[in-house]
Amino acid sequence: MSATATTSTSANSGGPTKKQKKGGGYQTPWVEKYRPKTLDDVVGNEETLVRLRAIAKDGNVPNLILSGPPGTGKTTSVHALARELLGDAYKNGVLELNASDARGIDVVRNRIKSFAMNKVTLPPGRHKIIILDEADSMTGAAQQALRRTMEIYSKTTRFCLACNISTKIIEAIQSRAAILRYSRLTNEQVLSCLIKVAAAEKVSYTNDGLEALLFTAEGDMRHALNNFQACTSRGGVVNQSTVFLVCDQPHPKILGEIIAACQQGNTGPAVRQMKDLWKTGYAASDIIGTLFKVTKSSKDLPEALKLEYLREIGFTHMRVIDGCNTLLQLLGLIGRLCQIAAVDQNNKESQ
């Protein structure tokens, strides 16, 4: 994976907006500034986008449930679909609510029902669209009320529910909607977007800086753009050290050295490095989470040993989440990883 570094050092956009001039340095979030407006501009999940383009062409949109990890383009896709369906009537024909904030039954009875009842001039054969973001946060009573509302106003209104886990949506709503599933974006897809934004914003970066952004984002485009913008606010070139400093994550190189020491059975050096990392102030959850990602992406570990390591790190992560987030827990993990490597080596020698 490589990218050609730009030569400009400016971290700001070409020309300030009115808000930037009046607000004295106000900068539009890049996730909003570069949000795709059409389905063709949305990155990743091509199979799902093919279905949405077919719906936009046909014009008869069903109720939809868009399920998948955050930052993969669910809400953006729905808005792009609504723009293509409604055209100039988009502003009047679309209601967006974040169900994690407004998730009670009163919202369904008042805001949603009143919007569904309102008469709006739309293109022939089109429907009003209600977008419910984070719909899996809605209470059970609100979802039951929403089910009834979907039935009553089915002739004039369509509902698009974006959620992370579709199973948290009651079956009565699932049976009334088409479920579209989104997956995490690949590093190549996120990288292409970051390079385009960097060119538009005239930002200088290094290849290892982009790789660090991809490592921290884990296929989440929103996370990648937010981190990129936060790094540029510090001025200078966006490099690896800047990214991990801004994201406040342990450096993967250090954790990679710890894993390598465990693989060789060198308990002492691994323990010393873990203690030094702990003294810098990182939480146990941050260390163990990054350790899992480093181990998962390692190319030096044999597959069988990697699976054993991931299993043991996963158990330790579970204990950390339960509250056992001390240095002793991390040092115990080091000892177990060294022991697993020793057993693996003995098995190879006996064969």
Burial code (b: 16+ CB inside 10 Å, e: under 16) for 177-210 equals beebebebbebebbbebbeebbeebbbbbbeebb
On average, the pLDDT of the chain sits at 85
Say if CB 203 and CB 236 are below 8 A apart. no
The pTM assigned to this predicted structure is 0.76
Q: Is 116 helix (H, G, I), strand (E, B) or coil?
A: helix
Contacts of 347 (CB under 8 A, 6+ apart): none
What percent of the chain clears pLDDT 70, i.e. is strictly above it? 91
Q: Band the pLDDT of 15: cuts 50, 70, 90.
A: very low
- In order of their start, the domains of the chain are 18-33+186-247 (1.10.8.60), 45-181 (3.40.50.300), 252-350 (1.20.272.10)
Task: Return the percent helix, strand and coil in the chain, to nearest 5.
Answer: 60, 10, 30
Phi first, then psi, for residue 92 (nearest 5°) are -85, -20
Residue 259 pLDDT: 93
Number of CB atoms found within 10 A of residue 266's CB: 15
Please give the Cα distance from 116 to 105 (Å, whole number): 15
Phi first, then psi, for residue 100 (nearest 5°) are -75, -25
Question: Helices 187-201 and 221-232, interaxial angle, to 10°?
Answer: 30
Q: Band the pLDDT of 26: cuts 50, 70, 90.
A: low
